[in-house]
Structure 1
Amino acid sequence: MQRVVFLVPFLVVGSLWTLQMDPVLGKSPVTTLENFEFEQFSGRWYEVAVVSTCPHYMQRKKSDPIIVALELKHVPSQHNFTMTSSTFKNGTCRETLTVISLTSTPGRFFHHVARFGADVDCFAVDTNYNEYALMLQLSTEKPSGNKTTTVKLYSRTTSVSPLVLGKFKALIRLHGISEDTAIMNQHKGECFPGDQMKEAAANHQVFVPESSK
């Protein structure tokens, strides 16, 4: 099992308002859920769809579009939570642990990716807790100042409904990204660190861009 841990200090960002200015782009307002409850949000999620303005990220995802399993855990006495990501890489299940800071704004999180020197502001834009979550990540690399917008669709299962896909596409368009570039990840079976990949005949939702209909 391979494990990578990113440790970041607690950072208080923004205010208690749900409508905030985009900390990376400095233009569009970002809206989080007014009554966001992290304890309901924690637990197991699957990253079933992604799109990003970062060409390197998109190239990596296109070469291996596999669903990532996420486990979110929070210790109430601490101002952060852990996100354990499990996915197959080169046929072997690998696990990554990231420590993410909670902020004073419910539904807004922060972490630093040392590998790319990037500060990442993350927003839970929409969720019903038991089915889906729409996540917006705004990143700034240092010292280059390169800025990236990433939209992710989380699901409690490895498939999503057409209605949820519609919400995902609407969020993509809102941030000026072509929905045709979105990637639907494929389920290759449950991932347990150290295991070899076994192809799964699981049913998963296929994403069909509007332009191809």
Structure 2
Amino acid sequence: MQRVVFLVPLLVAGSIWTLQTDPVKGKSPIMALENFHFEQFTGRWYEVAVVSTCPHYMQRKKRNPVMVALELKHVPSRHNFTMTTSAFTNGTCRETWTVLSFTNTPGQFFHHVARFGADVDSFVVDTNYDEYALMMQLSNEKPTGNKTTIVKLYSRTMSVSPPALEKFKELIRHHGMSEDAAIMNQHKGECLPGEPTKEAAAHHQVFGHESSKQIIPAEEEQSDVRPGRENL
């Protein structure tokens, strides 16, 4: 049984451009949704599809294309919010926490990953709040200059409508990526932190493996996961 907690160091972005250049094309600006209302955006979401320019991220997702549940919570008096994600990894449900800051642009968020010296900007490109959301994430690793673009499709349920999926594909094409590379996440059952999948539980019963609760430090857990490869 495992419960993983990631506390991502927070930097307040005092001045971030409204338009940011997508490193894929070098010209297409990324704009957050106009008249974005964050409080309507909070609550439960599911990551149902994703594509990235980072080959390591895509390899990892292909090995484990599981549905990711996200919970967004905000304390009104604070200039940041928490995102809790839960998903099955190696047969066990793991939960992570990330702290993101608001910027001067509604619908654009920021966090800094100190371990890799990376600035990560996230954008809500489109949403109707009660059905779907299109997200883009730009990661810039200052020491290496590596830049990564990730496009994600969120849904309030574990399924998504054809029109929302088509919007996702259009966004992918617009930013120079192949829609054929997109990964559709699979539902592996209800994810409760520390609980195994049905397959893992059956394996435990047959082979009598011992179960133990383990807390893995964020630094250790992310040793092979660079900023462009984490959830948002």
Q: CA deviation at 1:115?
A: 4.5
1:171 aligns with: 171
**Structure 1 residue 120: deviation in Å?**
0.8
Q: Which amino acid aligns with 1:47?
A: E
1:188 aligns with 2:185: no
Report deviation, 1:173: 0.3
Partners of 1:185 and 1:4 lie apart in 2 by: 22
2: CA distance, partners of 1:113 / 1:14: 17
Q: CA deviation at 1:63?
A: 0.4
> Counterparts of 1:177 and 1:164 in 2: how far apart (Å)?
18
- Point out which structure has higher relative CO (alpha carbons under 8 A, 6+ apart): 2
Q: CA deviation at 1:197?
A: 1.1
Instruction: Provide the residue aligned with 2:70 in structure 1.
Output: 70
Query: Pairwise mapping of residues 1-213 of structure 1 onto structure 2 (< 5 A)?
Result: 1-14=3-16, 20-22=19-21, 27-198=27-198
What amino acid maps onto 1:55 in structure 2? P
Runs of 4+ in 1 over 4 A off after TM superposition: 23-26
Deviation for aligned residue 1:86: 0.3
Contact persistence 2:22–2:28 (CA under 8 A): no
C-alpha distance in 1, partners of 2:64/2:72? 23
1:119 CA displacement: 1.3
Residues 146 and 14 (structure 1), Cα distance of their counterparts in 2 relative to 1, 3 Å cut: same
The structure with the greater share of residues assigned to strand is: 1
Name the aligned partner's letter for residue 14 of structure 1.
Answer: I
Instruction: Report the alpha carbon displacement of residue 22 of structure 1 after superposing the two structures with TM.
Output: 2.0
Higher share in helix:
2
Please, which runs of 5 or more residues in structure 1 have no aligned partner? 200-213
Identity of aligned residues (%): 70
2: CA distance, partners of 1:157 / 1:33? 21
Q: Give the number of the structure whose alpha-carbon radius of gyration is greater.
A: 2
When residues 24 and 192 of structure 1 are mapped into structure 2, their CA distance, relative to the original with a 3 A threshold, is same
CA RMSD of aligned residues (A): 1.6
